Chain A
Amino acid sequence: MTALPDKPFVPDFTLKDVEGNTHRISDYKGHVIIVNFWATWCPPCREEMPSMQRAWEQLREEGIMMLAIDVGEDEDTVFEFTASYPVEFPLLLDTDSSVSEAWKVKGLPTTFVIDQWGRKVYRAIGGREWDDPELLNQVRRLKQVP
């Protein structure tokens, strides 16, 4: 992951997940959050989903959040996808891609790590093995920042 030296604050959003629940990024202030932008047709997005689930199984007990924002697809498409790729973290729907654009996402997948103050601190363009211990520790260390 690349450290973002200017640590820009993230734009707030209100998005529904595939189960109809509403999420605002501001609801998670005070938490470290992994925010992944993806789509079902995107091969590296699909490839990294299982490792994101494995990472989530470790991180959720530690108070670190994970959100995956599908770009430009509808609820049925994403719901169908979860039959092959079951994940337990929230899958949000950015159907008109306005949030992705506001967050300055250019290609998929793109993932940001957000600190407790709502600032982007790391960015990864392209898929990663999210349960890689070194990568997880990079995320965990953010919790230790006073």
Chain B
Amino acid sequence: MRLISLGFLFLLLAGVTAAAVTVEVGENTGLRTWQWVHEGVSLRLVQRLPDQTRAYLLGRGFPAAAADEAATSCFFGTMFRNDGTVPLDFDLTTWKVVQKGKETRMFVREHWKTNLQENAIPKAARIALHWSLMPTQQHFEPGDYNWGMMVFGLPPGQSFDLHMQLKLDENPLAVTISGLQCAPEKLN
């Protein structure tokens, strides 16, 4: 995807760690991408329109109502990479979504497993969503990476801060990405 850089680089203070976050807007899509980089480790978050997620879920066998409900939960396409020199560990259940001072948690694989079983979503559809989400816990040696969707449980268009906890070579690292925004229902 060709991107136009908005040309601003944020240095955010999170605990004792400076996080470099770039924000770009897709020239053709109008969707925003945030990328955090630290010592070769990077997380890229790309907005997904609710319609994109609706289409994906319907294509995988979700009933329309369930696809619609899920699609308006703030999905991002993400890529987590370890191009650094030491192992990386993360656990998404420790991450916090903060909006207007209110703290919530991400909708990780286990959230969907419970929620979708209770709502009698077909097994094939549940399996498809499970594998397309970023793993809840992961250990990356240098050179490893994953793609996967992350879900922040907020309505379309909402802004929030993401407080991440990572371990680099077993050393804790706290990072905040401020001003993330769920894709709106429609782009202007």
Distance (Å) between the CB of A98 and the closest chain B CB?
10
**Which residues of chain B (129-155) have a CB below 8 Å from chain A?**
130-132, 134-135, 137-138, 140-141, 143-148
Any chain B CB within 8 A of the CB of A39?
yes
How many of B's residues come within 8 Å of A, CB to CB? 20
- In the assembled complex, which residues on chain A have CB atoms less than 8 Å from the CB atom of B147? 42-44, 107
Q: Which residues of A contact B (CB under 8 A)?
A: 1-2, 39, 41-44, 71-74, 95-97, 100, 106-108, 124-126
- In the assembled complex, which residues on chain A have CB atoms less than 8 Å from the CB atom of B127? 71-72, 95-97
Contacts A41-B132, A72-B127, A72-B131; is A124 near B143 (CB within 8 Å)? yes
- In the assembled complex, which residues on chain B have CB atoms less than 8 Å from the CB atom of A106? 135, 137-138, 146
**Contact residue among A1, A43, A107 (Cβ-Cβ distance under 8 Å from B135):** A107
Contacts A72-B124, A106-B137, A125-B140; is A97 near B130 (CB within 8 Å)? yes
In the complex, what distance in Å separates the CA atom of A96 from the CA atom of B148?
19
- A107 near B130: Cβ-Cβ < 8 Å: no
In the complex, what distance in Å separates the CA atom of A100 from the CA atom of B127?
11
- In the assembled complex, which residues on chain B have CB atoms less than 8 Å from the CB atom of A44? 145, 147
Distance (Å) between the CB of A108 and the closest chain B CB?
6
> Interface SS of chain B: helix, strand, loop or mixed?
mixed
- In the assembled complex, which residues on chain B have CB atoms less than 8 Å from the CB atom of A74? 124
Distance (Å) between the CB of A83 and the closest chain B CB?
18
- In the assembled complex, which residues on chain B have CB atoms less than 8 Å from the CB atom of A71? 127, 131
- A107 near B134: Cβ-Cβ < 8 Å: yes
In the complex, what distance in Å separates the CA atom of A75 from the CA atom of B135?
25
Distance (Å) between the CB of B136 and the closest chain A CB?
8
- In the assembled complex, which residues on chain A have CB atoms less than 8 Å from the CB atom of B143? 1-2, 124, 126
- In the assembled complex, which residues on chain B have CB atoms less than 8 Å from the CB atom of A125? 138, 140-141, 144-146
Residue of A nearest to B59 (CB): A41
